[in-house]
Amino acid sequence: MSRSGAATATIDDVEDWTQGIDTVLCDLDGVVWLAHQPIAGSVEAVAELRRSGRRVIFVTNNSAATSAQHEQALAEVGIAADGDVVSSAMAVTALVTPGTRVLVAAGPGVVEALQRAGADVVVNSGEPLTEAVDAVVVGLHRDFDYARLAVAAEAARRCARLIGTNTDSTYPTPDGLLPGGGSILAAVALASGVDPVIAGKPHLPLATLVESMLAERHDAFHPDRVLMVGDRPETDGRFAALLGCRFALVRSGVSSPAAEIDEATTVDLDVADLAEVARRLVC
């Protein structure tokens, strides 16, 4: 099957490529869980994929949590994930030079990643800054308010360097969609007049990080062996296209069963949930 153009695989097509998949890149929100409540069959699906010899790596645009928090949350639902979570917070470090003074309007995950990378982190408290910063990083955080918006926008305007963890406007929960980090980023970008650079899916910084992680195991990155599973075609589907790998769309999160697929997105597998992905791969 061609990797370009709009397409959705049929059951007859699936057998042509599934047996060559040895790595599954799995989104979290809307695929594994909804607000940390496991989607039916997802925990068992991860276990089944691993029993088949496939590696499962969790690739998330959720930048609010630290690496340990992501791993602990997965452990609490029965999924071991030590060293197997890659987030947009981790990808932000590719866009910031060590020693750079950064205003962070985001959660602990971004603070942790930037500090580990050697940045001088200033957490946005809503209080006026006493010193200039070299960049502003914006991600999902639940204490965002008008004062923090004003400080972030002014800082971004002054340094002309705005970085977003992702542009996801929403994220799925058991009770429906809530505003995502992209909504906060949009507010800061509009108020500052600065166009942001994006770290997470479907952009290059996170793709490069994933490629490097997979290359460590195989001595090279082999996109034909990789399947990206996600619930958002414009994010996860485009990320798969950037990597050059296959894309499985699940309808358990942002994309409802009746939602139409953007014609620009290639979908290799269109199924209900992660459990169905595992069933198709593990024959």
CA proximity to 67, closest of 53, 87, 94 = 87
Q: Which is the catalytic residue, given 22, 29, 231, 270?
A: 29
The string of DSSP codes covering the chain is: --SSSSEE--HHHHTTTGGG--EEEE-SBTTTEETTEEPTTHHHHHHHHHHTT-EEEEEE---SS-HHHHHHHHHHTT---TT-EEEHHHHHGGGS-TT-EEEEES-HHHHHHHHHTT-EEEE--SSPPSS--SEEEE---TT--HHHHHHHHHHHHHH--EEES----EEEETTEEEE-HHHHHHHHHHHHT-PPEE-STTSHHHHHHHHHHHHHHHSS--GGGEEEEES-IIIIIHHHHHHT-EEEEESSSSS-TTPPPPTT-EESEEESSHHHHHHHH--
Report the pLDDT averaged over residues 95-121.
Answer: 98
Does residue 16 carry a catalytic annotation? no
pLDDT (0 to 100) of residue 2:
34
In angstroms, the CA 126 to CA 202 distance is: 30
pLDDT tens-digit series, residues 199-252: 999 999 999 999 999 998 767 899 999 999 999 999 999 999 999 999 999 999
| Residue 63 pLDDT > 70 | yes
Q: Which CATH superfamily is domain 7-61+202-281 in?
A: HAD superfamily/HAD-like (3.40.50.1000)
pLDDT (0 to 100) of residue 13:
52
Q: What CATH architecture applies to the domain 90-198? A: 3-Layer(aba) Sandwich (3.40)
Mean pLDDT of the chain: 93
Does residue 27 carry a catalytic annotation? yes
pLDDT (0 to 100) of residue 4:
41
| pLDDT-wise least confident of 7-21, 51-65, 163-177 | 7-21
Domain residue ranges in the chain: 7-61+202-281, 90-198
pLDDT tens-digit series, residues 6-18: 445 444 555 589 9
pLDDT (0 to 100) of residue 220:
83
pLDDT (0 to 100) of residue 11:
43
Q: Which is the catalytic residue, given 22, 27, 168, 273?
A: 27
Instruction: Check if 7-61+202-281 and 90-198 are the same fold.
Output: yes
Phi, psi of 146, rounded to the nearest 5 degrees: -65, -40
Q: How far is CA 43 from the centre of its chain?
A: 19
pTM of the model: 0.91
pLDDT (0 to 100) of residue 246:
97
Handedness of CA 85, 89, 92, 94 (dihedral sign): negative
* Res. 60 pLDDT band, cuts 50 70 90: very high
Tell how strand 55-60 and strand 23-26 pair up: parallel
| pLDDT-wise least confident of 15-29, 32-46, 137-151 | 15-29
